[in-house]
Structure 1
Amino acid sequence: MLKYLRPDVAISFTARMNVQNLIAVHGTGIPIIVSERNNPIAQRQPLEWEVLRKNLYPYASALVLQTRSVRRWAQGFISGEKIHVIPNPLTQENEISEEISPCPKGMPIVCSLGRLTRSKGFDILLKSFSIATADKPQWGLLIMGEGEERRFLEEMARTLGIRERVFFPGRVKNPSYQLNQAKFFVLSSRHEGFPNALLEAMAAGIAAIAADCPFGPSEIITHDVDGLLVPNEDIDSLSRSMHLLMEDREKRESLGARARKNVKRYSPDIVMAQWEELISRVTQVREIP
């Protein structure tokens, strides 16, 4: 099909599609851009796909990664000049419609968002929240998302004695509204490909605390400037940072204001311009027989 269509460039995303794309364009002279969208170190492919990826990626015209940190992984098997870091764009709804909150009116809320899986570290968040609110029982925790760990997390909240203050609404149609109602946001992930939820929270102008996990948070947040970074999987550090923001309204507001300003560098116009520049570059050297 690609040989028949003769496109100017073939672009693919995720490891298996990238491998298939590279095989499909072999011998056609069509430039190909492959892109990794997850954390390739933490989310490893079966051995045969790992071998294919590392042997075929060098034949791509360019490899797009979401963070600079992943570059070190890629440089083990592909020329550095072919590696380009282009983050995800920040997309927001123009109008944020009001919806019913699952939390009691007037309760100050800590918010988080993501699939309820082990990689997102919501067990770490629950334990940290329990410690941080030992003397602040008026605070609540909203965890938006669905996944296989939901029952486990609900039971953990019950065991910690905080179940009545932790809310699991599942998938939320309009998370932007809930983010705007929260006092601050927490990303507790053990690892990330690129933390889109963190960008959404910062764009909403609320303070954010993020685990300094591989990869992404440390490239988005400048610690104590537009957010707070804590060591990965460190319950005590996370609980202290949460307690700090619960007590310091002025700090929450200043971090949130700077966050909203600084994430503008991820606007669709800026990110799409990077893609357009890369596409223009690889198509200029196109040599189709």
Structure 2
Amino acid sequence: MMNVERIDLMIVIHSLRGGGAERVAVDLAAGWRERGCRVMIVTQTDGREDAYPLPDGVQRHALGLAGDSAGPVGALWGNLLRVWALRRLVRRHRPAVVLGMMTRGSVLAVLAARGRARVIATEHAHPPSLSLPAFWERLRRSTYPRADAVVALTRGTAQWLDEHLPGVRAQVIPNAVRWPLVDGEPLLEPPCVPGRRRLLAVGRLHPVKGFDGLLRAFAQLAAPFPDWDLTILGEGEQREALESLRDELGLGERVSLPGRVGNMAAWYGAADLYVLSSQAEGLSNTLIEAMACGLPCVATDCDTGPREIIREGLDGRLVRPIDDPDALAAGLAELMADAGLRSRLAGRAVDARDRFGTARIMALWEQVFQGERVN
């Protein structure tokens, strides 16, 4: 029989299409590969729609079992096929650790690898804000207590998991910011217009990101702050609706939606203020990146996420209530009107490079991989 290389770390995730968890999976793979580990990323999809390139030296195995199933019987059969395929891969490569990314990847990892590797389940969204089919809710409830460790991005999510999944004692490891930021595709240079200031927002164009409320807030600020423009970077299902709302509010000359870009460092560097308008967040990679780049930030105070990143009054502002354009406009106006305040907050925001630095976060993962608790 042909020899098969044994894997140190196997990361299980649906795809490497755009998304925070997908980028974290790639960053973790790269980090452990740099430490000399043999790493494999297992996806349901192939690489044709990847948003993030595979790190050098990291293996990729596509199960080819993506897609929706017809009805509950079809869904059950489809998931059995995924478990069997992943189990065969685990038997073949004998990984030391199998890391499931997000609920579905974590459930599949536990079902396929429990007893054959150290299995770690992770949550990258706050469960109350993410509706799951009842089938997956039941599977999470039955499988997570059987994982060797369950990891959440925030204390709020860890507390929810402990309270709602008997037998789980979740641990907290936030996402790391890889500093300096690395460029990817597509490359799009930010506009540089003398005398103009830029308010920047980044995220998937989805209702949960609250960009409609952000547009309504900016509509209140456009007249009193005539030298400020708003840029929303990202792509998604709400593009047409947001463009229509922008035009309806008379902001066509002041608000741009260029799409997704890969050279985020350039866009953070060209901005004067960052805003996160989300109704819910797992953590928020973009908020951490913006702070690491020295941007003062205003963020809605979601149930989890921003309040564990921004230190209120020290390196940013939190806005309450989260679904109120008036409150968001007031929070933004305070910083837009005061260059000195922006400078003071930005001076402390860069602490994010250490607070969420790769070395610190990787050390926490190493503890979990070795069976130690991190909190």
Q: Report if TM-score (shorter chain) is over 0.5.
A: yes
65, 74, 88: which one aligns with 2:161: 74
CA drift of 1:126 comes to 0.7
The structure, 1 or 2, with the larger RCO (C-alpha pairs under 8 Å, 6+ apart) is 1
Separation (CA, whole Å) in 2 of partners of 1:4 and 1:100: 45
CA distance in 2, matches of 1:216, 1:192: 6
Q: Shift of the alpha carbon at 1:12? A: 1.2
Contact 1:192 1:216 in 2 (8 A): yes
Q: What one-letter code is carried by the residue in structure 2 that aligns with 1:22?
A: V
Aligned counterpart for 2:171 among listed residues 79, 84, 89: 84
- The match for 1:23 is 111
SS in 2 for 1:225: coil
* Residue 70 (structure 2) aligns with: none
Contact conserved, 1:190 with 1:213, CA < 8 A, in 2?
yes
| Structure 2 match to 1:7 | 95
Q: Which runs of 5 or more structure 1 residues have no equivalent in the other structure?
A: 283-289
Q: Tell me how far 1:106 sits from its aligned partner.
A: 2.9
Measure the CA separation in 2 of the matches of 1:7 and 1:154.
47
2:368: which partner in 1?
A: 278
Sequence identity, in percent? 36
Amino acid at match of 1:15: T
Q: Is structure 2 residue 347 aligned with structure 1 residue 257?
A: yes
Structure 1 match to 2:197: 108
Q: Secondary structure at the match of 1:281?
A: coil
Query: Quick one: distance in 1 between partners of 2:282 and 2:182?
Result: 28
User: 5+ residue gaps in structure 2?
Assistant: 1-87
Match of 2:263 among 169, 174, 179: 174
Checking the alignment, whether the CA contact within 8 Å between 2:200 and 2:274 is kept in structure 1 is: yes
Equivalent in 145, 166, 169 of residue 58 of structure 1: 145
Paired AA for residue 99 in structure 2: I
Distance 2:208 2:149 in 1: 29
In structure 2, the CA distance between the partners of 1:111 and 1:271, relative to structure 1 (3 Å rule), is same
Instruction: Establish whether residue 228 from structure 1 lines up as the match of residue 317 from structure 2.
Output: yes
Q: How many angstroms apart in 2 are the aligned matches of 1:73 and 1:173?
A: 34
Structure 1 counterpart of 2:305, from 199, 216, 223: 216
Of residues 260-269 and 52-61 in structure 1, the stretch that sits farther from structure 2 once superposed is 260-269
SS in 2 for 1:169: strand
Cα drift, residue 161 of structure 1: 1.3
Paired with 2:228 and 2:248, the residues of 1 have a C-alpha distance of: 18
Check conservation: 2:159, 2:170, Cα contact below 8 A.
Answer: no
CA distance in 1, matches of 2:300, 2:131: 21
In 1: Cα distance, 2:183 partner to 2:117 partner: 43
The CA RMSD measured in Å over matched residues stands at: 2.1
- The residue correspondences of 1:186-205 to structure 2 (distance < 5 A) are 186-205=275-294
User: Equivalent residue of 1:156, what SS?
Assistant: helix
TM-score, normalised on structure 1?
0.91
Aligned 8 A contact 2:94 2:116 in 1: no
- 1:246-273 deviation per Cα after TM superposition (whole angstroms, max 9, x unaligned): 1100000100110112442100100000
Task: Indicate the SS of the match to 1:44.
Answer: coil
Whichever residue aligns with residue 356 of structure 2, its letter is: Y
Aligned to 1:129: 218
Q: Return the alpha-carbon distance in structure 1 between the equivalents of residues 93 and 262 of structure 2.
A: 39
Offset at residue 4 of structure 1 (A): 4.4
Query: 1:20 is aligned with what amino acid?
Result: L
Query: Are residue 158 (structure 1) and residue 242 (structure 2) matched?
Result: no
What is the alpha-carbon distance in structure 1 between the residues aligned to residue 120 and residue 189 of structure 2? Answer: 43
Q: Does the aligned pair in 2 maintain the 1:207–1:253 contact within 8 Å?
A: yes
Superposition pairs of residues 29-40 of structure 1, within 5 angstroms: 30-40=117-127
Contact 1:110 1:139 in 2 (8 A): yes
- Secondary structure, counterpart of 2:127 in structure 1: coil
Distance 1:158 1:94, change over 3 A: closer
